[in-house]
Structures are given as C-alpha cells and as structure tokens.
Amino acid sequence: MDEKTKTAAGIAAGLQGMTYDDKRLAELAAEVEILNDAVRKAAAQRLTFDDDPAAFASVLARAARP
C-alpha cells in the first residue's frame, strides 16, 4: 500500500469511522488527488497568500457554479 493510500485509510478510519478494502482505498486516494489538484490550481490562479481566508470559500463557490 503506497503512502497516499495509507493516508486515505487513516482518514477514513480515524475521522470517518469507516473501513474499506485496499482496492477501494486506492481508488479514493486517486480521486482525492485529482480533486485536490483541481482546487489548488483554481485557488492559485485567484488567491494570494495575503488574501482573507474567507476568499477561499468564495473562489470555491464561484468555481462550482455551472
């Protein structure tokens, strides 16, 4: 099990109280990586380090609209 899959397993068990088989954990880790990269890229294009933390939620809300 690679490090990202172990992280997904730890989050699922520790924060959510859920367990999954290794195959599903690997799928979840891959899905989270894709989503995380998309959010980071969207935020990097619109936010700077000094922006108000609430601006992040605003960026996500605008990006989620069709």
Domain that holds residue 53: 3-64
Q: Which tens digits make up the pLDDT trace of 7-61?
A: 999 999 999 999 999 999 999 999 999 988 988 887 888 888 898 888 888 887 8
pLDDT of residue 54: 87
Report which of 2, 37, 32 is spatially closest to residue 16, judged by C-alpha positions.
32
pTM for this one?
A: 0.68
Domains of the chain: total: 1
Distance from the Cα of residue 23 to its chain's centroid: 19
The helix (run of H) or strand (run of E) holding residue 19 is: none
* Both structure tokens of 48: 């700077």
Distance from the Cα of residue 32 to its chain's centroid: 5
